[in-house]
Amino acid sequence: MAELNTDGGGGGKGGKVRSKKQNSKVDLTAMVDLAFLLITFFMLTTTLSKPQSMSLGLPDKEDDPNKNVDIKVDENRTMTLLLGADNKLIRYVGLLATPVAGGAPKDFSYGKDGIRKELIARNKMVLEYSAAKGKPKDGIIVIIKPSKKSTYKNVVDILDEMAIVGVGVSGSYAIVNDFTPEETKLLDGK
């Protein structure tokens, strides 16, 4: 301990003034408090300042249209999400002209009470449907169509839903930028 010998020179004889024994102990409590506060601050800021990221893989873009091979998918497994202006979200299941039962175009909200419930329910239905057909590994296929007026936040929100529901595990999802005239009408109307 940092203690100085404040004893005045030992056994001096008479005439010497005895210096008073002073306590040289310093109270370190406040200093330790401060040090730990700063440690906490630096610990938290170093780990929190690292931004999180979400990885997104897009399919290879092929400029030559002849090389694009169309793959036919079962329309019972597809669900299309149209993202519009002002956080508008429309989903339909199957084909737009002939949607499957209960899959007609309908508005949904973002978040756990909106589209997530629908996604979980549909994902389950598709897995049951595929199991009945003898291909239990075929999950839902979600087609995300962000319109020109949708924001980046909408896209990230939907990609986040895909991660939460686990669409990428059993099925797949894709961002598609082509809109059919009917779909544009659907987003603009109502």
Partner 1 sequence: MAKIKMKKKSTSTDMTAMCDVAFLLLTFFILTATAKIPEALPVDTPSSTVQTKMPETDLATLTVGKGKVFFDLKGREVRVRTLELMGEKYGVTFTDEDKKMFSLMEGFGVPISNLKQIIEMKSADRSKAGQPGVPMDSLDNQLKEWIYNARIANIEVNDKELQIAIKGDAKEEYPAIRKVMDICQDQKINSFSLVTGLRSKDF
Which residues in this chain contact partner 1 in the complex, by CB under 8 A? 1-2, 25, 27-29, 31-32, 35-36, 38-39, 42-43, 45-46, 49-61, 83, 111-112, 146-157, 159-160, 163-164, 177
- Of residues 135 and 149, the one with the C-beta less far from partner 1: 149
Instruction: Report, in Å, the least distance between residue 184 CB and partner 1.
Output: 14
Q: Which residues contact 123 (CB under 8 A, 6 or more apart)?
A: 139, 140, 165, 166, 167, 170, 171
Backbone angles phi, psi at 138, to 5 degrees: -85, 110
Least Å from the CB of residue 126 to partner 1: 22
Structural tokens at position 16 = 């010497």
**Which of residues 139 and 146 has its CB atom nearest to partner 1 in the complex?**
146
Nearer to partner 1, 153 or 185 (CB): 153
Which residue lies nearer to partner 1 by CB, 28 or 131? 28
Closest CA to 94 of 74, 119, 112: 74
Q: Cβ of residue 64: shortest distance to partner 1, in angstroms?
A: 14
Quick check: 176 and 147 in contact, CB under 8 A? no
Best CA proximity match to 56, nearest among 178, 179, 175, 176: 175
Minimal distance in Å, beta carbon 54 to partner 1?
4
Gap between the Cα atoms of 40 and 34, Å rounded? 10
CA–CA gap between residue 149 and residue 86 (Å, rounded): 8
Q: Which is nearer to partner 1, 134 or 152 (CB)?
A: 152
Locate 171 and state its tokens: 């099925």
Q: How far is the CB of 171 from partner 1 (least distance, A)?
A: 18
Residue type, 165: V
